[in-house]
Amino acid sequence: MRSVKISDYQFIYECYQDWPPGNLGPVTLDIAILWTRRWMNRDDEKVLVLDIDGPVGFIKWRQKWLIAKVDNIVVHPSHRGKGYATRMMKELHSKLASEGVIVAEFDAIPGPIADMVLRGRFKKMDEKIGETGLPVVVGAVTWDMEI
């Protein structure tokens, strides 16, 4: 995985086109450009892009000492179902564990990741209604879990 770069803005825009709109409305090209610039220049939000002959997905998280919060694992619609989300989570898990992070929490909207939490692959922390009005499962990965 690699750091995000400005040329990723179009890819990031495309990744969100079938996601439910958040409280800011749908992700536009201008928003994707702003996010890309922000992720390149801030330390409080970290983003890594999975690049396999071009970008296929990205993972965004925030970290405070020994705890991380994974905000998004996004795979481009044309690359879904190939195990890339799991690969990104495994790579981030390894990176965070090597830095001493003991737990990484995440919110999962309905779909494959939420199903994995409900089946017990990840630790289930909570269930709630997210900002989009969709049900959200809060999951966690600890440093000693195998993904």
CATH number of the domain enclosing 103: 3.40.630.30
In a domain, 51, yes or no: yes
In a domain, 56, yes or no: yes
In a domain, 16, yes or no: yes
Q: Considering the entire predicted model, what is its pTM?
A: 0.84
Instruction: Compute CA distances 113 → 32, 40, 106, 108, 127, whole Å.
Output: 23, 26, 10, 6, 13
Locate 51 and state its tokens. 């690049």
Backbone angles phi, psi at 48, to 5 degrees: -125, 140
Count: domains in the chain: 1
In a domain, 78, yes or no: yes
pLDDT by residue (tens digit) across 44-91? 899 999 999 999 999 999 998 899 999 888 999 999 999 999 899 889
In a domain, 147, yes or no: no
Quick check: 23 pLDDT over 70?
Answer: no
In a domain, 13, yes or no: yes
Domain that holds residue 12: 2-142
Q: Which of 23-27, 34-38, 87-91: highest mean pLDDT? A: 34-38
**Which position has the token pair 């690359």?**
79
Q: Cα 89 vs. chain centroid, distance in angstroms?
A: 8
How many Å apart are CA 34 and CA 54, to the nearest integer? 21
